[in-house]
Chain A
Amino acid sequence: MLFWPKLNSLWRNLTERQKVEADLANEIRSYRELLEEQKIREGADPVTARREASIELGGAEKLKEEVRDVRRGAAFDVLGAELRQSLRGLRRNPSLTVLGTTMLSLGMGACIVVFSIFQSVLLKPLPFREANRLLTISETRVDRGIDHASFSEANFWDVRSYNHSFSEVGAYHYDEANLTGFGPAEKVVACEVSAGFFRTLGVSPVLGRDFSYDDDRGGFRNSVVMVGNKFWKTRFGGDPRVLGKTLRLNDKAYVVIGVLPPGEPWIDDQLYMPFGYRPDADRTSWEFQVMGRLKPGVTGEAAQADLAQIAASLAQSFPKEDKGIGFVFTPSSTWVASDTTRRALWVLLGAVTFLLLIACLNIANLLLARGTARMREIAVRTALGASRARLTRFVMMESLLLNGLGAAAGLFVAYLGIGLIQSVEIRGIPRLADAGLNTWVLAFAVFIALVTGVLSGLAPALQAPASGIAAALRDGDRQTSSRGQGRLRNVLVTGEVALSFLLLVGAGLLIRSFKELMTVDRGFHTENRLMFTVSMPGSYWEKGIGKQFLDRFFERLKTNPQVLAAGAVNQRPVEGGDPGMGIDTPQSSAPPPWAGWRIVTPGYFAAVGLPLVRGRLFDENDKPVWIPKDVPPYPRRVILSDRLAKQIFKNEDPIGKKVVLWKGQSSGLAEVVGVVGDSRERGLAENPTLTVYLPYGTNALTSEFVVHTRDNPLALVPTIRSLVGQLDPNLPISDVRSFDQVVYRSVAPQRLNAILLSIFSVLALLLATTGIYGVLSYSITRRTPEIGLRVALGATRSNILGMTIREGLRPALIGVLLGAIGAFWLSRYLATLLFGVKPFDAVTYLAVATLLLATAALACYIPGRRAIQTDPASALRIE
């Protein structure tokens, strides 16, 4: 009700101000004239009438002001006036404005950069319907210490059929295929998925149809394929007539039946084929990733209990394969970023929060100092009737305005920062390329500007009107501020130093840990090593075509003078997968150790620089451990990594001893012919792995090549390409990198953290130094007369210098102590990110404390020196 007239009057008040004002003036004039007339009619003479009318009206301006106050939108007027006033204040004091904005822009820029990454990695939802119902299901064998494993095919079919908790369960099997028919042969990711896979994710094709349950029924492989959106765009130019076309994959034809919507990178540039249900599906090789979509209303616990029952019956029905089986869930939120990345981002977010707080304290300090300098102005305003609330609001407005400017500049800083990070960091941080200044990030910038604006305005605003007016007017601008204010400023400095301590300790720990990580004994050697992938389709496993290629390739490569050693393996170190097996002596009855297995060519060990510890390496006579049925049995031979050999054989010499491969699933015996050094196969931060090496051969091919070169390994790439091209033009080369690059990329999250935290802590140090310097130099200026007096009374220069430095260092020292306590308490959250360094690392703590105190002393020294140069006579004259 009455909404319209209200809005109307608001509109009129704001837009037709002049007309409204003129109207009011006329109305008051007319009232006065009428009143005068009335008085004259009542018998007064004109002069008296005029005087009485004026008295009754009580001042036209005051009247107008009172009417303005009741007008709708009056608050806007006041706000506008105050805003103009604050802007004028900031313009009158450019050094404060520039200094404040710069400090804030750095703090806020850092904050915005980290938040934009954080938002893109952790907050942006997965492009799947109701992603919170989605989860990964993994097999476990707790009795063998396996808490996360892929599914075996048969177990997947059983879980899919017998569970009551999931509306859909889907599985996929990562695979690659050679694509021909689009220029040179190319390796593409071609996953096999169960028919319900995309329905589980909640993804529907944008074109064509999804796999139906007919596609995976009947135990045969249907030759149909669905293509990812990016694949469709790049290979087919987004042509809708792609449906029904044929793709040649591994020399077999597949018909395109559907196109997927754009989504996560791992779903975009791939091909998907259905894998069929087989009653004789394998129960022992764990190769399938399984995802489930919980039915509405079913909790994770209920589903867990449901699957526990299935596990129990599987263990009973298949005691050999499924003994001790269990299932665990991981929420889909972990699909984008691993726990380490998530934790690293949280740590960064904490770090920038501290940084922003430091900037905030600095601004508070600046405004406080200015408030003191403006004591007289404020006193005059108070005397003229400015209310306490209005003065507080004025100071607050100034702080908000300054922080607004800071946020705007911070957005610019962040824009540059994100670009810089994206240009140096390609992999390692998922979705990094998506990070940017989107609506979320802008809203965040506004939010932090408001919060820091209020925070940094709080102390100055409360201080502003509290001081005595009379004293301020008497003493003028140069009056010595109250003891309480000096203490407040010292508290702010203490806070800055403490926060900087936290940041510096965090950065120090991460830098030390990164250094440890990069210098840890890797086992293999990475310098001057070239890595690349030549993937061979399944047909190469037959008739020895693949083995022939490998042999001829290495033979030709050996003649190149640049090549020191060359070999190949089935899984690339650090980046590749880690297939494993149980392995132990035939006599042992304990649970067998779990070891990763690798198929290698004889030259592999020399190529990656793994030393031979005992026995011998493989030679041409060692054949694959998979003995084909049509071949007479031959002795099987393996090489163990040092730790594995020690674990199995304790102190005995393992050479010539027998081990059971895939213990628990088969009884194939093999002889140990050699022991090689340990290596960090699964990445630098992981402990050296237990590994068993198997010889390559006709039915055991290797796709990951390692070449040890004399000079720059990447210079050899053209030679390799032409050599592979000459030998077999159908084989694609991919993932060409130096081993150093592989390792470098694998530590991307750690490196990004170390670098960013270092930058943040340098900023923090800079801000804290400015803060200390500002406070001290201000207090020295204020105390010039006092110092002059001291000098006049006989204080030496070193007395004065010592006094100022002591005074400046006291809050810094308290800050260091508080910071150390805080860091001790907080560094536990850093513990899982550290490598080779304890969270409470005395060296780091001492170094940080020394650095902070030294910087603080320097910040004190400069104003201190100015103090001792004071000429006592002139100093006293100021008074």
Chain B
Amino acid sequence: MSPSNTNLLQGTLDVLILKVLALQPMHGLGISNRIAQVTSNTFVVKPGSLFPALHRMEEAGWLTSTWGESENNRRAKFYRLTAAGRRQLKQETDLWARISAAMARALKAT
């Protein structure tokens, strides 16, 4: 199974986006690249998943967007975390920590 085929668990993409944006505001391609980078290419986010996710999270009030200049002086839409987004990231991080610990224990057992 190639890494890029790994299905994103429900909710995984949201946490990844939140996490990536926690460092600095980014545009869509930046987010996609960054996710690939931090997960060592385990997750490759295609625009077909990325765009709906970004818009959904923006509507949920976790992100805001502004038009700005990219590193190469191109106009691009930059997403930034809101306070609600930070809270959400905190919650999700805790949740993931619990889940992964539980999963690790469960799989190690027997």
- A residues sitting closer than 8 Å to B (CB atoms) are 1-2, 5-6, 9, 23-24, 26-28, 30-31, 33-35, 37-38, 56-58, 62-63, 66-67, 69-72
Contact = CB atoms under 8 A, between A and B. Distances in A.
A725 B91 CA distance: 96
Nearest to A31: B28
Given A27-B28, A30-B74, A35-B29, A5 B61 contact: yes
Among A2, A26, A27, A66, which residue has the most Cβ atoms of chain B within 10 A? A27
A57 to B, nearest CB: 5
Interface in B52-110: 52, 55-56, 58-61, 67, 70, 72, 74-77, 84
Interface of B: 27-29, 33, 46-48, 51-52, 55-56, 58-61, 67, 70, 72, 74-77, 84
A30 B59 contact: no
B51 A34 contact: no
Nearest to B57: A70
B102 to A, nearest CB: 28
A42 to B, nearest CB: 11
B46 A34 contact: no
B60 A37 contact: no
A28 B77 CA distance: 9
A67 B77 CA distance: 15
B61 A66 contact: no
Contacts of B55: 24, 67, 70-71
Nearest to B76: A30
Main secondary structure of the interface of A (DSSP, over half): helix
16 contacts: A5-B59, A5-B61, A26-B75, A27-B51, A27-B77, A30-B74, A31-B27, A34-B27, A34-B28, A34-B72, A56-B47, A57-B47, A58-B46, A62-B48, A63-B48, A71-B59
Nearest to A2: B61
Contact of B47 (A1, A6, A33, A63): A63
B51 A66 contact: yes
A38 B76 CA distance: 14
Contacts of A2: 60-61, 84
Nearest to B87: A1
A56 B46 CA distance: 7
A72 B74 contact: no
Contacts of B46: 56, 58
Given A67-B55, A69-B52, A70-B55, A31 B60 contact: no
Among A28, A30, A57, which residue has the most Cβ atoms of chain B within 10 A? A30
B51 A28 contact: yes
A34 B52 CA distance: 19
A38 B48 contact: no
Given A31-B47, A71-B55, 20 more contacts: A2-B61, A24-B55, A27-B51, A28-B51, A30-B74, A31-B29, A34-B27, A34-B70, A34-B72, A35-B29, A37-B72, A56-B46, A58-B47, A63-B48, A67-B51, A69-B52, A70-B52, A70-B55, A70-B56, A70-B59
A66 B67 CA distance: 21
B74 A58 contact: no
Contacts of B51: 27-28, 63, 66-67
Nearest to A1: B84
A13 to B, nearest CB: 8
A34 B29 CA distance: 7
Among B52, B58, B70, B74, which residue has the most Cβ atoms of chain A within 10 A? B52
A71 B60 CA distance: 10
Contact of B52 (A1, A27, A56, A66): A66
B52 A67 contact: yes
A713 to B, nearest CB: 81
Q: Which 3 A-B pairs have the closest CB atoms?
A: A5-B61, A70-B56, A2-B61
B21 to A, nearest CB: 16
Nearest to B53: A70
A38 B52 contact: no
B78 to A, nearest CB: 10
Contacts of A26: 67, 75, 77
